[in-house]
A and B are shown apart, each in its own frame.
Chain A
Amino acid sequence: MTLTVILLLIIAALVGSLYMGYGYHRLRRPVVLGAGVGAVAGVLGALLFMLPLNFCTFEPERAILDVGIGILLMGTGMGVVLFSAHWLSRYFLAKGKDKPVLTGDRVQGGFNTSVLIPLVLLIPTLIILTLFLYYPAIDLFRLSTLLARLNTPRTVFRCVDNFSQILDPQFSIVTIGAIILSIVLVVGIAYIQRIGETRNNPLYNTMRSLVTPTLLVLLLSITVDLFAPDYRPVVYNTFFIAGWTVILGILLGLAVAYLVFQPVKGAAIYRTLLIWPYAISPAVAGIIFFLMFDPLNGIINHLLSLIGIQGPNWIKDPWLAKWTIIIASVWKTLGYNILFCLAGLQNISKELQEAAAIDGANAWQRFWNVVFPGMTPILFFLLITNITFAFFEMFGTIDFLTKGGPAGATTTMIYEVYTLGIIEGDLGKAAAQSLVMFVMVIGITIFQFRTSGEKVSYGA
């Protein structure tokens, strides 16, 4: 163990004791006890990833990037263990409103039987989740530190090399631009608020509405910038294709749902005719659009030629190939989006809309000020499910439409995991890329829990 490691562990102990000491102070428990628990939890957290890795990132010959990854891993482990320790302390020590509420604890009209019965009921589920989700998840972590080839039993430990090969953080023009724009926005908004000219100020309103898109672009751009030049396009493709599919799919779904929600004869038949693509598989969507967008024999280019436009080569142009995938995926997800938007529209108060109509609001104002706010929980739910679809399920569409081409222009992260791990047989690197996606999924999940103050859930 080098001096760096010892130093980092001391820092971990200090951060942990401060964090938990403060936590115990708020729980009205001895601060010293909290600090002690925190120090132990901090060190354990720092060791969580470092012990399996045998502190290899801090070996003297390691590059600065590897040391950075090592520190990041220590921090992540620390965060996980400290958060759990804090939560457990609150659960077991706190009383009243400080005690975390566990929805799982609720029991109604419970059976007074032996403990064995509920366990027997749960055991099949637990065994399957352990064997086919938890075990592979842990194995994925192990694989990501190995040089492992498909069909070759022998493996070699290679520390975090699988990760440092796909990471190479550097700022791009887009990121720098987004940073400058967000600084301008923040300063501008603060200035206008200070001089108090916020009412009916078009500049102020424009700046306010630009904040969220700018921050979103900044976040996506920084994420893309983290990766090495040969992996960066893959991340960019994923964000581009997923982003446009999700945005267009939800907006179109909402528009069509609003249209079919109008009182009209035969609405039930129209609804069925509109939502059935939900049942079509991503692979079949890929096959049908493969024919429709065929540059020579496809119907789309034929229709374009009828109005005098020379149809482009959809599949061979890097930019158009992405859009072909997006169009096919929007079509495939539209039924699902319409379905849930319809369910959401049914929950919006008719009285409120009628009141707005009496007050002279036009159709667009009613939609924007009454319907849309009422729809946000559903739209948020759709955002999360659509992102998940775009990240994972789209594989079938891509495999049938473009096979990830031309020249990798439609290779998304999941497609790259498949190509690298199964076709080329580099399991270690593919495992590392899977874990990168895992981090993104965890990020989305945390965002979901944080932002949904009004919890959206699906269930009867």
Chain B
Amino acid sequence: MTALTQTYAPEKKKNANSWLPQRWYLHILLWITCFIISFPLLYAVIVATQTNDEVVRYQVTPGSSFDTNWETVMITRKLGSYMVNSTVQAIIVTVGKTVLSLLAGLAFVYFRFPGKWLVFGFVLMTLMMPTELLIIALFRFVSGLGWGDTMAAITVPFLASATGAFLFRQHFSNIPAELSEAAQLDGANPLQFLFRILIPISWNTIGALAVIQFIYVWNMYLWPLLIIRDERAQVVQVGLGSLRNIDTTLTYGPLMLAAVVTSIPPVIVFILLQKQFMSGFAITRDK
């Protein structure tokens, strides 16, 4: 196995890759690309401060309506309460799934037990069952439990996944066996081994799974749309929908402000944990 992302830092030396003769040209190309890719969000940020009149005049400078828009979004439409729900949901799922995946990975790599291949296959098969596919039956089952409009409905079904368990299984199986043998000689039990040795050397993988899970949960839309009907329990992605129509006419400013505010937590988490994400999720090629 080769980890690809060891050399994530930019290369300094000139090599065969430099097919553009002059560097300034490359910089301009990169600036244009960055501008095009960032354009939708830049535009949203500007509109977020404007009144409808300013939007329609295509004013390119920040507008005069930031305060009013903020008030509409946070006080009238209570985006803050949706944000709180989403934050609680994302933290519960991220922490819960990381812990359960660590335990499952530990069991798969360091234990021998009868019927292991069966359990492994059972977990593997779920890779073919995305939640979206089962949404009709899952909706019936979870409503039947009486979990409609509860935090349990948007967290518990997502606490375990094959992706997480296999991520840690693969990570652990690349750790030399001597480590666990030495730990056992020192009299460590499996949980001590997990907390004292495995977790401290697995922060990159844990970080990678955490980023993926946080963004996945924060951006979840279809499932909360179905199962949560009570405004007070709603998550932010669905809550955005209520900003589409204010006073019967469409007001762009508050809608864009809400979209921008909604995007801040996942973007921050992503940028902060970018290094872990890249090294933890290093693409591997094994035969």
Residues of A within 8 A of B (CB): 91, 102-111, 113, 115, 117-119, 121-122, 124-126, 128-129, 131-137, 139-140, 143, 256, 259-268, 270, 272-285, 287-289, 291-292, 297, 299, 302, 331, 334-335, 339-340, 343-344, 346-347, 350, 353-354, 356-357, 363, 366, 377-378, 381, 388, 391-393, 395-396, 399-400, 414, 417-418, 421-422, 427, 430-431, 434, 437-438, 441-442, 445, 454-460
B130 and A392 form a contact (CB under 8 A)? yes
Question: Which 10 A-B pairs have CB atoms at the shortest separation, nearest pair first?
Answer: A104-B120, A459-B170, A281-B219, A109-B180, A363-B19, A267-B10, A109-B177, A118-B111, A136-B137, A108-B177
Tell me whether A297 and B34 are in contact in the complex, defined as CB-CB below 8 angstroms, given that A279-B270, A283-B240, A454-B287 are known contacts: no
Q: 20 A-B pairs, CB-CB below 8 angstroms?
A: A122-B119, A124-B159, A125-B101, A129-B162, A261-B17, A262-B18, A263-B12, A270-B30, A273-B38, A274-B33, A280-B267, A282-B221, A283-B240, A343-B282, A378-B283, A422-B139, A427-B136, A454-B287, A455-B287, A459-B169
B108 to chain A, nearest CB (A): 6
Tell me whether A284 and B135 are in contact in the complex, defined as CB-CB below 8 angstroms, given that A347-B4, A378-B283, A400-B241 are known contacts: no
B18 and A133 form a contact (CB under 8 A)? no
A262 and B20 form a contact (CB under 8 A)? yes
Q: Which residue of B lies closest to A264 (CB)?
A: B26
B274 proximal to A (CB < 8 A) = yes
Identify which of residues 107-158 in chain B touch chain A, using a CB-to-CB cut-off of 8 Å. 107-114, 116-117, 119-124, 126-142, 156-157
B179 proximal to A (CB < 8 A) = yes
Tell me whether A128 and B181 are in contact in the complex, defined as CB-CB below 8 angstroms, given that A262-B18, A460-B174 are known contacts: no
A396 and B221 form a contact (CB under 8 A)? yes
B63 proximal to A (CB < 8 A) = no
Contacts of A331 in B (CB 8 A): 37, 40
Tell me whether A117 and B111 are in contact in the complex, defined as CB-CB below 8 angstroms, given that A125-B123, A458-B281 are known contacts: yes
Give which listed residue, B15, B240, B280, contacts A460 with CB less than 8 A: B280
Identify which of residues 228-280 in chain B touch chain A, using a CB-to-CB cut-off of 8 Å. 237-238, 240-241, 252, 255-256, 259, 262-263, 266-267, 269-271, 274, 278-280
Q: Which of A131, A136, A335 has the most CB of B within 10 A?
A: A136
B190 proximal to A (CB < 8 A) = yes
B2 proximal to A (CB < 8 A) = yes
B150 to chain A, nearest CB (A): 15
B16 and A357 form a contact (CB under 8 A)? yes
Interface mask (B186-228 → A, CB under 8 Å = 1, otherwise 0)? 0001100100000000001100100000010011011001100
State A442–B283 Cα separation when bound (angstroms).
Answer: 24
A128 and B160 form a contact (CB under 8 A)? yes
Contacts of B285 in A (CB 8 A): 347, 377, 454-456
A123 to chain B, nearest CB (A): 9
A434 and B108 form a contact (CB under 8 A)? no
A135 and B37 form a contact (CB under 8 A)? no
Contacts of B13 in A (CB 8 A): 263
B184 to chain A, nearest CB (A): 7
B84 proximal to A (CB < 8 A) = no
B184 and A111 form a contact (CB under 8 A)? yes
Contacts of A422 in B (CB 8 A): 136, 139, 226
Tell me whether A139 and B137 are in contact in the complex, defined as CB-CB below 8 angstroms, given that A276-B270, A284-B259, A455-B286 are known contacts: yes
Tell me whether A460 and B180 are in contact in the complex, defined as CB-CB below 8 angstroms, given that A121-B104, A132-B157, A264-B23 are known contacts: no
Tell me whether A121 and B106 are in contact in the complex, defined as CB-CB below 8 angstroms, given that A129-B123, A388-B130 are known contacts: yes
Tell me whether A121 and B103 are in contact in the complex, defined as CB-CB below 8 angstroms, given that A137-B134, A274-B37 are known contacts: yes
State A416–B269 Cα separation when bound (angstroms).
Answer: 33
State A127–B101 Cα separation when bound (angstroms).
Answer: 13
A268 and B170 form a contact (CB under 8 A)? no
A109 and B184 form a contact (CB under 8 A)? yes
Contacts of B14 in A (CB 8 A): 263
Q: Which residue of A lies closest to B255 (CB)?
A: A287
What 4 additional pairs, Cβ within 8 angstroms, besides A121-B104, A343-B5, A395-B221? A111-B184, A129-B122, A280-B263, A434-B134
A441 and B117 form a contact (CB under 8 A)? no
State A352–B60 Cα separation when bound (angstroms).
Answer: 48
Interface mask (B28-41 → A, CB under 8 Å = 1, otherwise 0)? 01100110011011
Contacts of B15 in A (CB 8 A): 263, 350, 353-354
Tell me whether A291 and B47 are in contact in the complex, defined as CB-CB below 8 angstroms, given that A270-B30, A457-B286 are known contacts: yes
B95 proximal to A (CB < 8 A) = no
State A407–B176 Cα separation when bound (angstroms).
Answer: 59
A460 and B208 form a contact (CB under 8 A)? yes
B273 to chain A, nearest CB (A): 11
B214 to chain A, nearest CB (A): 9
A421 and B136 form a contact (CB under 8 A)? yes
B263 and A279 form a contact (CB under 8 A)? yes
B166 proximal to A (CB < 8 A) = yes
Tell me whether A282 and B219 are in contact in the complex, defined as CB-CB below 8 angstroms, given that A263-B18, A297-B56, A430-B136 are known contacts: yes
A288 and B259 form a contact (CB under 8 A)? yes
A353 and B40 form a contact (CB under 8 A)? no
Give which listed residue, B4, B174, B269, contacts A346 with CB less than 8 A: B4
B113 and A459 form a contact (CB under 8 A)? no
Give which listed residue, B41, B58, B138, contacts A302 with CB less than 8 A: B58
A315 to chain B, nearest CB (A): 13
A125 and B37 form a contact (CB under 8 A)? no
Give which listed residue, B184, B252, B284, contacts A459 with CB less than 8 A: B284
A410 to chain B, nearest CB (A): 16
B165 proximal to A (CB < 8 A) = yes
Contacts of A388 in B (CB 8 A): 130
Tell me whether A460 and B114 are in contact in the complex, defined as CB-CB below 8 angstroms, given that A344-B4, A454-B287 are known contacts: no
Q: Which residue of A lies closest to B184 (CB)?
A: A111
A405 to chain B, nearest CB (A): 15
Q: Which residue of A lies closest to B35 (CB)?
A: A273
State A441–B140 Cα separation when bound (angstroms).
Answer: 22
Identify which of residues 78-102 in chain B touch chain A, using a CB-to-CB cut-off of 8 Å. 100-101
A457 and B122 form a contact (CB under 8 A)? no
B283 and A121 form a contact (CB under 8 A)? no
B11 and A263 form a contact (CB under 8 A)? yes
Tell me whether A459 and B166 are in contact in the complex, defined as CB-CB below 8 angstroms, given that A113-B190, A279-B215, A299-B43 are known contacts: yes
State A302–B170 Cα separation when bound (angstroms).
Answer: 51
Contacts of B267 in A (CB 8 A): 276, 279-280
A397 to chain B, nearest CB (A): 9
Contacts of A135 in B (CB 8 A): 137, 141
